[in-house]
Amino acid sequence: MAIAKTIKRRTLADESFNLLKQRIISGFYKPDHALRQDELAKELGVSRIPLREALLKLEADGLIDILAHKGGIVRALSFDKAQELFDLRILIECDLIVKSVPKMTSENFANAEIALKEFDKIALNEENIEDWTELNWQFHYKLYEAAEKEETIKILKSLHSNCDRYIRKQLLVAGAGNQAHKQHMKLLEYCKSGDVSAAVGELKSHITEVFNGIGEFV
């Protein structure tokens, strides 16, 4: 059995980063919202140093822009940008799954299945919808893990965060059809059967469909 991971040290900067990231992805902070350091530091009960470091990480993740002496503002959303981000996801994820499927073992399949079940839980319990991003990522990640492409994975994770700003999660967890769930299932099946081209096709149409469901934004 896999041993528990090593303890993860949590710094105030990391905690602040996670909180703010969540707020941006969920839309709590709208585009162009200015993130005032003093104000936020007080609200979170930390000093401005760890808060500034959280802002730098948000910038690195492409969620905010920082201008010297002017501070951080939430990055704008646009249809064109969404298209670019989802296109990039298709390009990278299809490349990954081609490299991953032939190397996947029963352990990989089991991990993906566990991740899928965790993801499906939020369909039943919609109040935990803030976990959508992480759980959806975990499932996708488990499919690509066997490819052993760390650098690519790091880039892709950030891409997912950015894409998730556009996604109306309610549609995906609740909807009568629940296409996302069906597609995830099919995707995993194709991986198990080693059918690379079917997996690629399903992945592409899955990402495309999620993109087609993005809503209004300003």
Partner DNA sequence: GCTAGCATAATTGTATACAATATACAATTA
Partner DNA sequence: TAATTGTATATTGTATACAATTATGCTAGC
Q: Is 76 in the site for a second copy (CB under 8 A)?
A: no
Distance, in Å, from the CA atom of 210 to the CA atom of 184, rounded to the nearest integer, reads 12
Cβ atoms of residues 92 and 141 within 8 Å? no
- The item of a second copy, DNA, none sharing an interface with residue 183, based on CB under 5 to 8 Å by kind, is none
Q: Is 95 in the site for DNA (CB under 7 A)?
A: no
By C-beta, is 11 or 193 nearer to a second copy?
11
Cβ atoms of residues 12 and 50 within 8 Å? yes
Query: What string marks each residue from 118 to 157 as x (binds a second copy by CB under 8 A) or -?
Result: ------------------------------xxxxx-xx--
DSSP one-letter code for 10: -
Coil, strand or helix at 66: strand
- Minimum Å distance from CB 182 to a second copy? 29
Cβ atoms of residues 28 and 68 within 8 Å? no
Closest by CA to 71, choosing from 22, 27, 37, 20, is 37
Which amino acid is it at 208? T
By C-beta, is 127 or 151 nearer to a second copy?
151
Q: Is 53 in the site for DNA (CB under 7 A)?
A: yes
Site residues, a second copy (CB under 8 A)? 9-11, 14, 49, 52-53, 56-57, 59-60, 62, 67-69, 80-81, 84-85, 88, 91-92, 95, 148-152, 154-155, 162
